[in-house]
Amino acid sequence: MATYELYYWPTIPGRGEFVRLALEDAGADYLDIARLPEDEGGGVKALMKMMRDEGNELQPLAPPFLKSEGQLIAQTANILHYLGPRLGLCPGDDSSQRRAHQLQLTIADFITEIHDVHHPIAVSLYYEDQRAEARRRAPLFISERLPKYLAYFERVLERNAAADRAHLIGTATSYVDLSMFHLLAGLDYAFPRAMAQQASRIPLLRALHQRLPARPRLAAYLASPRRIPFNLHGIFRHYPELDVSEPS
Amino acid sequence: MATYELYYWPTIPGRGEFVRLALEDAGADYLDIARLPEDEGGGVKALMKMMRDEGNELQPLAPPFLKSEGQLIAQTANILHYLGPRLGLCPGDDSSQRRAHQLQLTIADFITEIHDVHHPIAVSLYYEDQRAEARRRAPLFISERLPKYLAYFERVLERNAAADRAHLIGTATSYVDLSMFHLLAGLDYAFPRAMAQQASRIPLLRALHQRLPARPRLAAYLASPRRIPFNLHGIFRHYPELDVSEPS
């Protein structure tokens, strides 16, 4: 039995990817249950079964969730809060853990806003059925929210002089840095032109994004088929009409 | 000096109210800084000053935040995670705290969706300037998301037989119960007709909502001017055109 069982949709990076990155970077012993074949107890069926299992003390509302030490833990930031010190991806003291978690929750808020750019009306509707509203939301997101969040995180790096402005929290790579790496990768995929315009304003974030893949286990993961490419079904989607216009 | 200093906008219940309710119900020694007169070091000025204070180890992106033991703690659910065991509003063991936090984060997700019903395009625009989109989002929220979240929390109560199905977590009132009380009050204010339609499906939640104000400190708070009434500037807003139609 693996130490950790991750339950998440098998075909999108989605919110599960933030947990995957921490597990992979730490070289943790884990199974990505829904990506295993059904005859090995995997697939979406296994995910749905675990989500509804009456044996769990608290059922999750939605994936991702993690099984560890007989407990089922849901909510991405809550899972990372649990895993952080166990995987050596967060300092062990309460105050650092609280600050890491605060940053992760701010990342979570940002992610929700990014997702809702292409889904402003309802998660149950296709993008194509809310494109008009998305096209109204996108320029406001790009001119107001994107720079606001990025400037905030840049400032957090800037103020962490003890870590040479290379880490969002503490003096070593944490799960927050890994999440920021993925967030920037996702934004580059979804809004390449808007992100190019932001680049000069966020040198420390860009440096973090460039530096992280030098970590051997992370590099191996990113090059493996375990890393699901961004696509048109997750949080980060590339709809060119939602990005800033091409310079004419 | 008070044990806790809460920093939040002084004129809306907003996200700060979830923290206020815990502090008030516990009879905690706290100051609601932005609601103090400016000549006593209060007001929005004091809030903005603290938010930008370079002396903080980590600056918050937005209110609410709490000052306690020399630390500044932001993100509503993170604040409650910190306060819970200290105020006697959460069991002290890690596993219970994690489950309480998981529920609080799910409440936070729900709150974001509720807010975005009246603000589907941008927080920077008035409701009146995104009413058309809000009118498209509202019926889908009411038919899909509202029942989904409510049914989930009802089920959490239902399964907590050890607490006579009266508490969301553990066997005593926790900050999660207090947040649920406020969430239901807010939904009743914003969507009275939709909530009337839901009532028979959520008897345990309705019972919790009715029972909680019997707690003396909570009752005193709710009857005091410290409790800011719902209004048209917060998360929960009553725009009749966004509720279900009156039966004809």
B30 in Cβ contact with B87 (< 8 Å)? no
Distance CA A66, CA A70 (A): 10
| CATH 1.10.1520.10 is right for the domain spanning A94-214 | no
Total residues found in chain B within this entry:
248
Q: What pLDDT score does A227 carry?
A: 98
For residue B157, pLDDT beyond 80:
yes
**In this predicted structure, what is the pLDDT of residue A83?**
98
pLDDT at position B183 over 70: yes
Whether B52 and chain A come into contact, CB under 8 Å, resolves to no
Is the CATH number of domain B4-86 3.40.30.10?
Answer: yes
CB contact under 8 A, B103 and A58: yes
B102, B121, B124 member nearest A78 (Cβ): B102
**Residue A216 amino acid letter:** P
DSSP state of B229: P
Q: Given CB atoms, is A113 within the 8 Å cutoff of chain B?
A: no
Structural domain boundaries in chain A: 4-86, 94-214
pLDDT band at B163 (very low <50, low <70, confident <90, very high): confident
Q: What is the pLDDT of residues B13-64, one digit of tens each?
A: 999 999 999 999 999 999 999 999 999 999 999 999 999 998 899 999 999 9
pLDDT digits (tens, 9 = 90+) for B168-179: 999 999 999 999
At residue A87, what are phi and psi to the nearest 5 degrees? Answer: -95, 5
Cα A105 to Cα A12, A111, B45, distances in angstroms: 21, 10, 25
- The answer to whether the Cβ–Cβ distance between A105 and B77 falls below 8 Å is yes
Contacting residues of B for A81, CB less than 8 Å apart: 98, 101
Mention every residue, 6+ apart, whose C-beta is less than 8 A from residue B3: B28, B29, B30, B68
Residue in A28, A152, A177, A161 with CA at minimum distance from that of residue A100:
A177
Residues B98, B99, B100: CA angle, nearest 5 degrees: 90
Residue B137 forms contact with A (CB below 8 Å)? yes
Best of B105, B131, B154, B158 to substitute, by most chain A Cβ atoms within 10 angstroms, is B105
Q: What integer pLDDT is reported at residue A246 of this predicted model?
A: 77
For chain A (length 248 residues), average pLDDT per consecutive 10?
Answer: 94 97 98 96 96 92 97 98 98 96 98 98 98 98 98 97 93 98 98 98 98 98 98 96 85
Euclidean distance between CA atoms B87 and B74, whole angstroms = 17
Domain B94-242 bears CATH identifier 3.40.50.300: no
Question: What is the structure's pLDDT at B248?
Answer: 58
State mean pLDDT over B191-219: 98
Is B107 within 8 Å of chain A by CB? no
Quote the tokens at residue B17: 């109210």
Chain B residues touching residue A54 (CB < 8 angstroms): 159
What is the reported pLDDT for B224? 98
Percent of chain B surpassing pLDDT 70: 99
Conformation bin of residue A49: beta by default, left when phi > 0, alpha when psi is -120 to 50 = alpha
* Distance of residue B39 Cα from the nearest chain A Cα, in angstroms: 30
Enumerate the residues of chain B whose CB falls inside 8 A of the CB of residue A136.
121, 133
Secondary structure element (H or E) that encloses residue B65, with its range:
strand B65-68
Residues B133 and B120: beta-carbon distance below 8 Å? yes
- Is A119 touching B (CB cutoff 8 A)? no
Q: Determine contact: B159 vs chain A, CB below 8 A.
A: yes
Predicted ipTM > 0.95: yes
Q: Which tokens sit at A159? A: 């103020």
- Residues B188-206: what's their mean pLDDT? 98
* Measured distance CA(A117)–CA(A133) in Å, rounded: 9
Buried b (16+ CB within 10 A) or exposed e, B22-45: bbbbbebebbbbbbeeeeeebbbe
User: What pLDDT does B247 receive?
Assistant: 67
Of B102, B103, B144, the CB nearest to A122: B144
Question: What are B141's two structure tokens?
Answer: 């929220």
* Sign of the CA dihedral running A219, A220, A225, A226: negative
In sequence order, what are the residues at sequence separation of 6 or more whose Cβ sits closer than 8 angstroms to the Cβ of residue A60? A51, A72, A74, A75, B102
Write down the pTM of the prediction.
Answer: 0.98
Q: Measure B220 CA to nearest chain A CA, in Å.
A: 32
User: What pLDDT score does B74 carry?
Assistant: 98
Whether chain B has a CB inside 8 Å of the CB on A204: the answer is no
